[in-house]
Every structure is written in C-alpha cells, then in structure tokens.
C-alpha cells in the first residue's frame, strides 16, 4: 500500500526557514517524481514544486528562489526547504507524480498534509 506521511509543519516567523519532510512507503520511491502541492486556508490547490527521479527540480514562480525541493532515495524521503513569507501559510501536501505514456501524467497518491503557519 502506497503511503505518504508529511511532517515538519510548524509556526514560523516571516523570513524564517522551515523544512518539510515526506516519508514514502509501499512503492519504489527512487523511480518516481515527487511533488509538493499546497492549500491556503479556505482556498484551492496550488502546485508548488516537483523533483524528477533523476533530481531535476521545477518550481512555481511564487516560490522560486525561496523554496528548495530535494529527495533522499536512501531514506525514501522528500523534502521542502522553505524561506517563508506570510502568503506561504498553507497545508502542504506531498504527492506522487506518475507518468507513463503521454498524456498519462498525474498525482495519484497524496499525503494527509502538514500545516505551515507564518506569523510574527
């Protein structure tokens, strides 16, 4: 059974750093791209970042230069290092990204989310 378990969400001051983690199990983690998607309170889903199985990373413009996605395949864990602004307050979900033959590309498994609050 595929499981994704996020952790690391906390209250952080504006300009402060925070590292989120996502522990994966039930699949060959190293073979999959992994992504972060966030949801501000009462708002919709916003894609944040993705890292390929080979380590190539892509970011939403809203977080570029402030967030860093990484992965440790030996630990089956995905990370997101954040330099936080107030608008980054949200529940952060990690999601597995599956792609096979185009156009079969989608987020098929999601974690339960971890809450980041940004306030002084």
d(CA 56, CA 39): 24
* CB of 114 vs other proteins, minimal distance in Å: 11
* CB of 87 vs other proteins, minimal distance in Å: 16
- Is the CB of 14 or the CB of 110 nearer to other proteins? 110
Closest by Cα among 47, 39, 20, 61 to 107: 47
- Is the CB of 39 or the CB of 76 nearer to other proteins? 39
- Is the CB of 22 or the CB of 82 nearer to other proteins? 22
Residues 6+ positions from 53 with CB-CB distance below 8 Å? 30, 31, 32, 33
- Is the CB of 20 or the CB of 37 nearer to other proteins? 37
Looking at residue 16, what DSSP letter applies?
A: -
d(CA 28, CA 9): 25
Contacting positions for other proteins (CB under 8 A): 35, 37, 44-47, 50, 58, 60-61, 93, 99, 102-113
* CB of 105 vs other proteins, minimal distance in Å: 4
- For residue 63, give both structure tokens: 């977080």
């Amino acid at each position: 059974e595929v499981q994704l378990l996020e952790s690391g969400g906390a209250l952080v001051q504006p300009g402060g750093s925070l590292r989120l983690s996502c522990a994966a199990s039930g699949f060959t983690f190293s073979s999959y791209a992994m992504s972060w998607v966030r949801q501000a309170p009462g708002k919709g889903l916003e894609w944040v970042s993705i890292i390929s199985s080979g380590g190539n990373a892509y970011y939403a413009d809203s977080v570029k230069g402030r967030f860093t996605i990484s992965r440790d395949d030996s630990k089956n864990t995905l990370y997101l290092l954040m330099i936080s602004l107030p608008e980054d307050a949200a529940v952060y979900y990690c999601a597995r990204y599956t792609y096979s033959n185009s156009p079969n590309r989608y987020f098929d498994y999601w974690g339960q989310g971890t809450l980041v609050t940004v306030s002084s």
